[in-house]
Amino acid sequence: MSRKLVDRGASILLWTSAALLVLGLLSILAYLMANGAESMSWEFVTRPPRDNMTKGGISTPIIGTLQLVIVSMVFAIPVGVATGIFFAEYATEGPFTTALRLCVRCLAGVPSVVYGLFGLSLFVVFLNFGSSLLSAGLTLACLSLPLIVTASETALLAVPQDFRLASYALGANKWQTVRKVVLPAALPTILTGAILSVGRVAGETAPIIFTGAAFFTPKVATSLFDEVMALPYHIMVLATAGTHIEQTRPIQYGTVLVLILLVMGVSSLGIILRARLRRNRR
């Protein structure tokens, strides 16, 4: 009886927490809609800013944010998954492996502004990439690596050992087993870590201030060495450093709403892809 009561209490607590979370998110969206509705239009999301960013739209920051996400994930996902494979499949337990794992776990708790200063020192100054899309993307890739590495390692370790033994019994070697058996089985969970990383990368401001975000640029970046406008930095500029802060309040709220919807949209696409992969696996 007591076990059933505990299970029921835990279930009620989980459902209550989920309901409060959804209610909080809907409240935030409603508040942003109420304050930014007058700025929301097709022109707002398809036109660049103009007149000292007091009019026009936010197409340039939207595209810049997507460019930063793509560049960072192109570097972070292969490196993160490869590191997870090393920890889960090839590394032998010992002081060196333990120290590496500890370093990865500690990096997950480093403030984002520290990553910004690291990116400034390494990519902007030392490697001479300058303030650019490449520097900002690589900095954001470093920021997202701990989450992707941890998610990949956890996903690979969760694959049943019987899968590996069956593959070895059929004559496959270690790498063939990892590539054709273990990795496909762990892919949905790895994708979950990548989705969470995309959400964090899209909303970060501190790392890109030092490495590639532009206060204003009329054009979309056409090279990895161009500066980019990004939605988080654009919001900060309008709210704190703009020339007409009160006049641009509706634009600020509208930009925040677009950023949230953009992150939710990208995450939803990832969730749909993950569900399809799991269905195909079954």
Place of tokens 């200063």: 117
124-134, pLDDT tens digit by residue? 999 999 999 99
DSSP state of 171: T
pLDDT tens column, 175-202: 999 999 899 888 888 888 888 888 888 8
Per residue in 212-225, pLDDT tens?
888 888 788 889 99
What gap in Å lies between CA 24 and CA 109, rounded to an integer? 25
Q: At what angle do helices 133-158 and 112-119 cross, to 10 degrees?
A: 130
Residue 120 pLDDT greater than 90, yes or no: yes
* pLDDT digit string, tens, across residues 69-81: 999 999 999 999 9
Q: Is the dihedral of CA 143, 159, 102, 98 positive or negative?
A: negative
Asked if residues 51 and 119 have their Cβ atoms less than 8 Å apart, the reply is no
Count of H-run helices and E-run strands, the chain: 12, 2
State the chain's mean pLDDT as an integer: 86
Report whether pLDDT(2) > 80: no
Quote the tokens at residue 195.
Answer: 């989705």
Domains of the chain (ranges plus CATH)? Answer: 62-230 (1.10.3720.10)
Q: How far apart are CA 189 and CA 208, in angstroms?
A: 28
* Local confidence band at 6 (pLDDT 50, 70, 90 cut-offs): low
Instruction: Write out the two tokens for 20.
Output: 């409060």
Rounded to 5 degrees, what are φ and ψ at 215? -60, -45
176-181: long-range contacts (C-beta < 8 A, 24 or more apart)? Answer: 178/85, 178/89
Strand partners, 246: none
